[in-house]
Structure formats: C-alpha cells, structure tokens
Structure 1
Amino acid sequence: MSNFSDMVKYIGLSIDEAAAALDVSKDEIVRWCDTSEAPPLHIWQCLVRMLDEIRISAEEAAKSADLDQLEASDLNRVNLTVPGQAAAEFDGPKRAATAMAVATLARVFV
C-alpha cells in the first residue's frame, strides 16, 4: 500500500475511475498503489483538488441544514452533489462528501 492508494480509496475511486479522473492508464494507477513509486506532482495536485471539492461540498451541505429542525432520521436522507470537474462525475467522491456532511451534522446530537 501507498499514500497514493490511501488517497484514492479515501476519495472513493475505483482503479478504472482513478485512471479516468487522472487521465492515466490503469496500469499506472495499480503501480502507484502497489509499489513505492510515486506519481508525478500534477497527479497529487489533482487528488488535492478532488479532496477540496469533497470537503467544500460537505461543508456547504452542513451549513445549509436547519439545525433547529434537524432530527436523527434526517441524517439518513442527506443527499448532495459534488461540484467541480474532477470529482463530480464519480460516485465515490459523492459518497465521501455525504459521509463527511452526515458526520458534521451528527455532531449536533453529541
């Protein structure tokens, strides 16, 4: 495993999706995930942009919630989209952003 692999998994991308999102071959993704060989800087920068898009989406969803009316059952109905070109077309980033938003909203009940 590698830090690259951890980031790709955290974002929620499959090997095929990571290759498409980063515009590289699946073989390169697998090599960067399974060896100590690191991808070039522009690949890291793309992953950072995707993480930023996920974070921003989660923050906006949490900010827009009516906390005075929020019930625990509402947490299972959070649905959002991820803005931006890098993350928007894949399901993994949407799941990651939704999980972050739900975690933020769940803190209301703690």
Structure 2
Amino acid sequence: MSNFSDMMGYLGLSHDEAAAALNVSKDEIVRWCSTSEAPPIHIWQRLVRMLDEIRMSAEEAAKSADLDHIDASDLNRITLTVPGQGASEFAGLKRAATAMAVATLARVFV
C-alpha cells in the first residue's frame, strides 16, 4: 500500500474512476497504489483540488441546514452536489462529501 492508495480509498475512487479523474491510465493508478513509485506533482495537486471540492461541498451543506429544526433522522436524508469539473462525476467523491457533511451536522447532537 502507498499514501496514494490511501488517498484513493479516502476519496472512494475505483482504479477506473481515478484514471478517468486524473487523466492517466489505469495501469499507472495500479502502479502508484501498489508500489513505492509516486505519481508526479500535478497528480497530487489534482487530488488536493478534489479534497478541497469535497470540503467545500460539506461546508456548504452544513451551512444551509436549519440547525434549530434538525433532528437525527435528517442526517440520513442529506443530499448535496460537489462543485468542480471532475469531482461531481464520481460517486466516491460525492459519498466522501456527504459523509463529511453528515459528520459536521452530527456535531450538533454532541
């Protein structure tokens, strides 16, 4: 395993989705995930942009929630869109953003 592989797991991207999102071959994704070979800096920069898009989506969802009238069952019905050109196309990225938004809103009950 590699840090790159951990990033793919955190983002919820399959090898095919990662290849499409990063505009590289699936073989490169597999190599970066399973060996110590690191991707070039522009790939890491794209991953950072994806993480930023996820964070911004989660923050916007949390900001738009009516915290005075939210209950625990509302946490299971949160929907959001992920901004950005690439991130919105992949289910894994949307799941990551939704999980982060739900976690942010769940803090209301802590």
TM range (shorter): over 0.9
Aligned to 1:55: 55
CA distance in 1, matches of 2:74, 2:86: 28
Percent identical: 84
**Structure 2 residues not aligned, in runs of 5+:** none
Aligned to 2:94: 94
Q: Which residue number corresponds to residue 73 of structure 2? A: 73
Aligned length in residues? 110
Counting only pairs closer than 5 Å after superposition, residues 11-90 of structure 1 correspond to structure 2 as 11-90=11-90
Write the distance in 2 (CA, Å) between the matches of 1:98 and 1:37.
31
Give the TM-score of the pair, scaled to structure 2: 0.99
Separation in 2, partners of 1:17, 1:8: 10
| Secondary structure class of the residue paired with 1:10 | helix
RMSD of aligned alpha carbons: 0.5
Conservation of the 8 A alpha-carbon contact between 1:13 and 1:90: yes
Question: What is the rounded CA distance, in whole Å, between the counterparts of 1:68 and 1:77 in structure 2?
Answer: 17
Q: Structure 1 regions of 5+ residues with no counterpart? A: none
The one-letter amino acid of 1:94's match is K
Runs of 4+ off more than 3 Å: none
Alignment partners' CA distance in 2, 1:99 and 1:75 = 10
